[in-house]
Structure 1
Amino acid sequence: LFPNYNTVHDFYKVLSIRGVYLASQMGEDKSIHTVITFNRGGEWTKVQRPVGVDCKNNEKDGCYLQIHSEYSIHRGIKAYPPHSQKDAYGLILVHAHVASNLQTSPPDVYLSTDGGYNFKKVLQGPHAYEIADSGGLLVAVPISTNYPKVVKFSTDEGNCWHTYKFTSDEIKFTGLLTEPGGKSMTVGLWGYQKDTNKWTVSVIDFSTVVTKQCKEEDYVPWIPHTGLKTRPGFEGCLFGKKEIVKRIKQDSWCRNGYYKILETSTEICKCTEVDYECDYGFYRPDNLMKCVLQPEMKADQLGICKEGNLEKFPMLGYRMIVGDVCDTVSDFHPVSDITSLDSICHTGNSGSTKLVIAAVIVIILVLVAAVGAVFLYKVLLLQRHRVVYRYSMLTQADDRDNEYENALTTHDTLYSESSDDEVEQDNRLPKSNGAVPANSKQPVKAYHDDSDEDLLG
C-alpha cells in the first residue's frame, strides 16, 4: 500500500529474521489486508490467525491477523508500527486485530517469537513498546490514556507481564525509547507535565530488577524458518543455508548484558527445487515444484545469436535464484549445455542499428558543414572591412612640438656666466641713443660673490 497523497507506506522489513517482509495490500473492494513473505518476496500469504482470538467479523469472510503500520497511524489510529531488532532473533511486536481486513477499532498488541510464522496476543489495547537486552526484555506503556503512570515489562517473551508505577504526576506521555540496537537494559519515557508544560524524562534501569547474568545453561538453540514447507531433512534451509542461533529460555530470569554476543552458526544446504526458479517458457503448476513447459512454447530449445554465431540452448526449465548459496555438487542440480550450430546468424535488430548509425553520421556531417560555413563567412567579412588608422591627432601633436622647439631656440641668452673683465668690456661698447645695437646681444651680467676673497685677504 502506497497512498498517493502522502509519503508513508506499509512495507516493513523484519530485522530479526532473514527474508521476511510485511506489507499491506488493497483489494478490489478497496479493503486493506496484511500479507507476509518468508522468502524475500517469492511468495506472499496472509498472516495466520492467532490461536484463541475472536474474529471481528463473520468467519465466512476470512479471519486473519491484520497488522497496522504507517498508513493507519497517518489516518489517526492509536498504534505503533511493527518493531523488531537485529539481535532479538525471531521477535516481532505489532498492533493488530483478527478480521477479514484492516479495522479502525483500537488494536491489541501481538508478538511473534518465530519470525512471523505464528503470533500470539500479549497485551490488551494499544501500547508503546520497545525490545531491550537483545530480546531478553520487552517494555510497554499503555497509550489508551494520555497520562499513563505505569510501565509494563516481560522477561519471558510476553507470557508474563510485570507492572511498575514510574510516576504519580500528570505527565502527557509522548514516547518510549531505548538505546539503538536494543542491547541496553535502560529505557526512557518522555513527556511533559500537565500544569507547567515542562518536559520530563523518566529513565528506568531494569538491570537493578533483573540482576542475574545468563549462563550457558540459560540458552536454547533456535533454527529460523522451520515453518517453511520443505523436504524432510531440509528444515530451516532458505536460499541454500541454515542458521542456528541461541536465545534465552523463556523461564530463565536473567539478562544477556550489553556486551553479550549471541552465538550463531551457519550450515550450507544441498540444492533442491526451491533453490531454483522457472526459466523462460516454463512455469510451476499449482501445488507442484517441478517446472513444466508452457503449452504455447513450440520447441524445447532456443536459438541464441552470440557474436554472429548461432548457438542451440536446451531449456531445462530451471535457473538458480539470485543470492542462493546451496551446494550444487550433490542432489538437485540441472545443467544446461550450449551447442554451437556452426552457422552465421544476424540479430533481428541489425537493420534498425544500421539506420541509427547512418542517422548519426548524417547529423555529424551537417554540423561540420554548418561550422565551416560560419567560419568562411567570418573570414570574408574581415577581408571586406580593413582597419584604417588615422594619424591626424598625432600630426597635430608633432606640429606643436616643433613650435615649442623653435620658440626656445630664437630667444636671447638670459644668463651667461663670464668673468668680470668681460662684463666691463661689454659696458664700454658705444651706445646709440641709449639703445642696444640691433645685431648685438647684451648678456645678462653674471653675479660674482667676492666675499670669500675679501675674508681671505
Structure 2
Amino acid sequence: MITFNNGGKWSRLHPPTSSGCHGNSECSLHLHLHYSLLVASEYNRSYSAPLLSTETAVGIIIGHGSYGVTRNDSEPRLVVSNDGGYSWMDPGLPVGTYVYGIADYGNIIVVAPDSENVEYIWFSHNRGECFVKQLLDTTEFFSLSRGLLMDPRASSLTAFMMGVEGNETGDEWRMITLNFKRLLQRKCVPSDYQKWVEHVNKDACPLGYRDTYNITKSLSICYNEQGYKYKPILNERCDCSTEDLECDYGYNRTKDDTCERMKGYNLADDCPPGAKYFNRTKSGFRLIPGDRCLPSSVSRQLLKTEQLPCVGHEEEAGFDNAREAIRRAGVTAGRVVGGVIIALIVVAFAVVAFYCFLRCREHSPATYEKVLYQKLPMVDAAAAAGKKGTAVAQTMTSLTPPPPLPQPPHRPPRTLSRTPEL
C-alpha cells in the first residue's frame, strides 16, 4: 500500500505492465522493506540495499519487490518508479538482489548484483526507462564488500565499487571507478529540459500544494553542470477539499466520504492530562498534518469545532459554565456602575466649581463703578447764533473738573561730604 498525503488515504501499488498483475487483491506489487532485510538470511539473500530515493532526484524510487497475493522474499526483483510511486517499471534484470545508486540528479541510475562474483553492472541514462549492461574489467573473481559508493545527494557523475578481486595467486582489495561523464559527453542546454509535475494527475493536489520541476528529457544524453538547481521552479497552493482532510481519532471514513464515530468509543477518553475540556470538530474531520491547502468554504464548514468536557469533569464543567456566565454578567454590571459613578463625580465637580466662581465674584475686594454715558442736550439754532458763547460756557461749567494731583513733598538737595585725608 502507498499513500501520497501522509496517511490520509491508502491505495495499492500499480505493478509494472510486464508483470501481468492488475493491482488487485489477487495479484499486486509488494515492496521489500526493512522486514525483508531482517529475514533475508532464511533465503540466503543479503538485501543490503533498502528502498532508495533522494530529494535531488525528484520522482525516482528504486527497490526490490515481488508479485502475487502476498510478498515473496524468495523471488525478489528490481523495480523502479520515476513518477514518485504512482507507477512502477521492471527493467527485466535477473531475479535476485542488487545494490544501486543515483548519480547526476537522476540522469544516471547504477545497478550491480549483490552476489559473490560481480561481472556486470547495469545503468540507465533516462530515469530508469531502460537499462544497459556493461562488462567490468576484472579477472576471474570480484566480490563487492561495500556495495556502491556514491554521493548521497546524487550530484556526482562517478561511482565506486569496493571489493575483493581473486585469482590463482590470491585475493587482493580493489577499487573500481565508474565515470559516467564520458558516456554523457556534453553539458545539458535549456532545450534538454522539460517541466515535470510531481503528480500524474495534473488536477491532483495532495497536501494542498503542487510543485513543478525541470528534469532532463529521456532522449537527451547530457549531464547537468555544477550548480544545477533541483529545487521546484513553480509552487502552487490549492483550495482545501475533502482530500485534504482525514477522520479524527475515533472515527471511520464511510463510502460517502463522511466520518462516522466508532461504536463504543468515548471521545472524552482522549483528553490531555489535567485538562477539563478539549476541542473536537463537529463533523469528525481534521486537517491532515503537514497539509498546506488554502481555507475554503468546504474546509471551514467541516472543521467547525465544539468544546466538550473531559471524563470526570462533566458536572464540574456545568458548574464552571454557570460560574463563567455569572462572572461575565458581573463584569458587565460593574462596567455600567463604574461609568455612572464617574459621570456623577464629573457633574458634582462642575457644580462645585461654578458655585465657587459665583462666591468669589461677590466677595471680591475690588469693585468697579459702572460708567454711564449721558447724552448732552442739543443747543437750538437761535441760541447757537446769538448766545453761542453762553451756551458753550454753560455746557463747560456743567462739567466738573477732576481734582488736582497731589504735589510731592519738597526735599532739600543732598550734599556729599568728603572724609578729610590724613
* Normalised-by-shorter TM-score class: 0.5 to 0.7
Three-state SS of the structure 2 residue aligned to 1:328 is coil
Among 216, 219, 231, the alignment partner of 2:193 is 219
Q: 1: CA distance between counterparts of 2:7 and 2:181? A: 39
Partners in 2 of 1:309 and 1:139 — Cα distance?
A: 58
The structure that is strand-richer by fraction is 1
User: What residue number does 2:29 align with?
Assistant: 65
Distance 2:280 2:37 in 1: 53
For structure 2, list consecutive stretches of 5 or more residues without a partner in the other structure. 309-313, 321-422
CA-CA distance at 1:148 after TM superposition:
1.8
Equivalent residue for 2:179, pick from 205, 228, 236: 205
- Deviations 1:99-127, CA, capped at 9 Å, x for gaps: 11122334221111111111110142233
Is the 8 Å Cα contact of residues 47 and 64 (structure 1) preserved in structure 2?
A: yes
Asked if residue 150 in structure 1 is aligned to residue 114 in structure 2, the reply is no
SS in structure 2 of the partner of residue 71 of structure 1: helix
Asked if 1:51 is matched to 2:17, the reply is: yes
TM-score (norm 1): 0.57
Could you say which residue in structure 2 is the equivalent of 1:443? Answer: none
- Is 1:41–2:15 an aligned residue pair? no
Give the superposition deviation at 1:168: 2.8
8 Å contact kept, 2:6–2:289: no
Aligned-residue offset at 1:178: 0.7
Change in 2 beyond 3 A, CA 1:291/1:61: closer
Specify which structure has the bigger relative contact order, considering alpha-carbon pairs within 8 angstroms and separated by 6 or more residues: 2
- Structure-2 separation of matches of 1:238 and 1:312: 26
Aligned AA (1:276): L
Q: Does 1:108 align with 2:77?
A: yes
Equivalent residue, structure 2, for 1:230: none
SS of residue in 2 equivalent to 1:134: helix
Deviation at 1:266, TM superposition (A): 1.2
- Once residues 90 and 252 of structure 2 are traced to their aligned partners in structure 1, the CA distance between those partners, rounded to angstroms, is 39
Please list, as runs of the form range in 1=range in 2, the aligned pairs for 1:277-288 lying within 5 A after superposition: 277-279=246-248, 283-286=252-255, 288=256
Compared CA separation, residues 269 and 61, structure 1 to 2 (3 A) = closer
For 2:103, give the aligned amino acid.
A
- Distance in 2 between the 1:256 and 1:43 partners? 36
- Following the alignment from structure 1 to structure 2, what is the Cα–Cα distance between the partners of residues 290 and 248? 42
Specify the SS of the correspondent of 1:326.
Answer: coil
In structure 2, distance between residues paired with 1:295 and 1:123: 49
Matched position secondary structure for 1:254 = coil
Superposition map of 1:21-420 within 5 A? 35-54=1-20, 62-74=26-38, 75-76=40-41, 77-79=45-47, 80-125=49-94, 126=96, 127-144=98-115, 146-169=116-139, 170-174=141-145, 175-195=147-167, 196-227=170-201, 235-264=203-232, 265-279=234-248, 283-286=252-255, 288-291=256-259, 315-329=282-296, 332-334=299-301, 336=304, 346-347=316-317
Q: Helix, strand or coil for the counterpart of 2:171? A: coil
Instruction: Give the percent of matched residue pairs that are identical in Structure 1 and Structure 2.
Output: 27
RMSD: 3.7
What secondary structure is seen at the aligned counterpart in 1 of 2:177? strand
- CA gap 1:105/1:214 in 2 versus in 1, 3 angstroms: same
Counterparts in 2 of 1:118 and 1:185: CA distance versus 1, 3 Å: same
| Cα deviations by residue, 1:70-98 (Å, 9 ceiling, x for unpaired) | 33233222433211121111111111221
1:379 — aligned with what? none
Residue 5 of structure 2 aligns to a residue whose secondary structure is coil
Cα 1:308–1:103, aligned 2, differ >3 Å: closer, same or farther? Answer: closer
Could you tell me how far apart the structure 2 residues matched to 1:96 and 1:256 are? 30
**Could you tell me whether the CA contact under 8 Å between 1:274 and 1:289 is conserved in 2?**
no
Cα deviation digits, residues 120-167 of structure 1 (max 9, x gap): 1014223321111110101112335x2223322110122332333332
Residue by residue, what CA displacement relative to the aligned partner does 1:249-283 show, whole Å, maximum 9, x if unpaired?
11111112342112512111101112223357754
Query: How far, CA to CA, are the matches of 1:329 and 1:221 in structure 2?
Result: 29
* SS of the residue 1:37 aligns to: coil
Aligned to 1:17: none
**Aligned equivalents of 1:172, 1:151: Cα separation in 2:** 13
CA distance in 2: counterparts of 1:319 and 1:66, whole angstroms: 30
Q: Comparing both structures, which one devotes a greater share of its residues to helix?
A: 2
**Segment drifting more, 314-323 vs 199-208:** 314-323
Alpha-carbon distance in structure 2 between the residues aligned to 1:143 and 1:310: 57
The change in CA–CA distance for 1:258 and 1:122 in structure 2 (over 3 A counts) is: farther
Q: C-alpha displacement at 1:293, in angstroms?
A: 6.5
Change (3 A) 1:316 1:128: closer
The whole-number CA distance in structure 1 between the counterparts of 2:72 and 2:276 is 61
Tell me, yes or no, if the aligned pair for 1:223 and 1:236 is still in contact at 8 Å. Answer: no
Letter of the 2:125 counterpart = T
What letter matches 1:131 in structure 2?
Answer: I
Conserved? CA contact 1:271–1:327, under 8 Å? yes
Question: Structure 1 345/309 Cα, relative in aligned 2: closer, same or farther at 3 Å?
Answer: farther
Gapped regions of structure 1 (runs ≥ 5): 1-34, 228-233, 299-303, 351-457
Q: Distance in 2 between matches of 1:158 and 1:63?
A: 24
Matched residue SS, 1:346 = helix
1:184 aligned partner, one-letter code: S
Q: Secondary structure at the match of 2:56?
A: coil
> 1:108, 1:311 → 2: CA distance?
50
